[in-house]
A and B are shown apart, each in its own frame.
Chain A
Amino acid sequence: MAAVRHSSSDGSSHRGMLLLLLLPGLLALLTTFLLPLIWLVRASFASSAVAALKGGDWTLESYRTVLYDPFYWKVAWNTLYLGVNVAIFAVALSYPIALFLARTKSRWRGVLTALAVAPLLTSSVVRTYGWMVILGDRGVINAALQSSGLTDGVIRLTNNYFGATVALVEILMPYAILAMLSGFGRLNTQFEEAAALLGANRFRVFTRIILPLSLPGVLTAALLVFVLAISSFVTPRLMGGGRVFVIGTEVYNEATVTLNWPLAAALSVLLLVLFGSVILIYQRAMRALET
């Protein structure tokens, strides 16, 4: 299996060719992915911004700051809270769409699928702007509420966690729909028909057949949305107007405003650890579902 498949006579030229094929792509991934990750971990142990770039004396100072400063505990909590909320709502709102797309026999299916997934291909900055327009102080919702006489003053829907949550839910929904669509492949209408034939009503068919069978897809979607939400920064920053503090916004702040690169690096490592543990939990849950 590990051996080169071709005969040994042209083995060396074959190997040279293979190297040539692999080199450009591997070089690209090495310099733009592997190296940055190593540099990041190194910088998180550096004593100063200069040391973060050049290497030098090692210290746990940045990690100490992250672990002992109550502010960063609050930030970590905010991030998890935002991630869980966004995951729950994005999955709940995407589920009917995915179910519909997976089973519809409409000739519009292709168009409707494209319409549900296409927002992925527009910049998150642009879609965040859309939500600033909808939820802003003089935005769509406030204008509607005021002109209908339901409220006099402005209801604050942006510059807070609520706005960030709503925008992230909508921005990440296409990912959830995609993940569920691939996971719903094993939904077989024959089971449902059999259950209905045996006298189960629609509710029972849903809770006993459809829901359990679609659970793996739901779990994958929830994981995907959660990890994307806790690592987001453009949407929380713009929708939060500087009043929403999550790991993403703090990493950006430390890296570009206060220029405390070791701290930015340590926070990034924290995010990676969070990522890794969530993925481990997901794998456990998937295994439990399969048995």
Chain B
Amino acid sequence: MDAKLARFAFALLITLLYLFLLAPIIVVLVISFDTRQYLAFPPESLSFGSYAKVFANVKFISAFWRSLGIGLFVGLVSIFAGLLLSLALSRHDFRGKGAINFLILAPFLVPHIVLAVGVMLVLGPLGLLDSYSGIFLAHLGITTPYTVRTITMSLMAVDRRIEEAARVHGASPAMVLWRITLPLVRPGLIAGAVIAFLISFDEATISLFIVSVKSSTLPTEIYHYLEYSTDPQIAALSVILILISVGVVVVVERLIGLRKAL
């Protein structure tokens, strides 16, 4: 009886903690269907009005397409650079490997706000502030460590004997890479690209330092909007963004498992 009670108490505690963890997402979902112009809870009546407003908001829509484009491009270039780096690090021995490994890990240790000031100071004299190339470069720097990690993990799982067997049977190194290694690490490549995309798509801190009107991304638009108003329009927009994230979570979970990717 005592053990049963303890187990029930623990289950209750876990449920409450999950509720706390998911509270903002749940509340945003409810608010997004509210008909009123201002923030209040609970909603009096429900409608899709806020969603219609988001789709009619030119600022949000154009920022969305910009973020999407930058994110896709960052994802592609990041897995390209990441794949080459991972190949070099997991298939070759060379002097300075330790230093390069450290350089790849180091961005995890430096806070984004510090990096943001530095990136702003580098991009400024180059005339790249508030430009697509500027955001692209900044996001490439913070995503590449992640893609190197996911791709290296996939590469390590590849059975080297298959590659060697192909070599023995006369395949060139390029052919081995193209026909054997790449197909085998494809899940890692896709997961890496997806995560890089999402980091870029959601990134607010660095973007806020280097972006203004011309190249504003969706997170920076939402941030500036929230400084003055918290109406349900943002809730509707948030739900759309959360749905995109959920899609990404499902893809990553299927491919390599979410825990390994983060």
Chain A interfacial positions (CB closer than 8 Å to B): 1-5, 18, 20-26, 28-29, 31-40, 43, 52-54, 93-94, 96-97, 100, 110, 112-134, 136, 138-140, 143, 167, 170, 173-174, 178, 181, 202, 227-228, 230-234, 238, 247-248, 251-252, 255-256, 261, 264-265, 268, 271-272, 275, 279
Contacts and interface: CB of A to CB of B under 8 A. Distances in A.
Nearest to B220: A125
A202 B9 CA distance: 14
8 contacts: A26-B100, A97-B17, A130-B24, A132-B39, A139-B39, A230-B111, A261-B117, A265-B117
Most buried by A among B3, B77, B110, B114: B114
Given A25-B85, A134-B27, A268-B114, A279 B209 contact: no
Given A33-B115, A130-B23, A96 B241 contact: no
Interface residues of B, number: 87
Contacts of B138: 32
Interface string B241-258: 110011011000100001
B171 interface: no
A38 B10 CA distance: 50
Given A37-B115, A40-B117, A233-B205, 13 more contacts: A23-B84, A28-B141, A37-B110, A113-B258, A114-B258, A121-B249, A134-B24, A139-B39, A140-B42, A167-B24, A170-B20, A231-B114, A261-B120
Interface in B71-113: 77, 80-82, 84-85, 87-88, 92-95, 100, 103-104, 106-107, 109-113
Nearest to A279: B109
A125 B219 contact: yes
Contacts of B22: 115, 119
A264 B119 contact: no
A131 B25 CA distance: 9
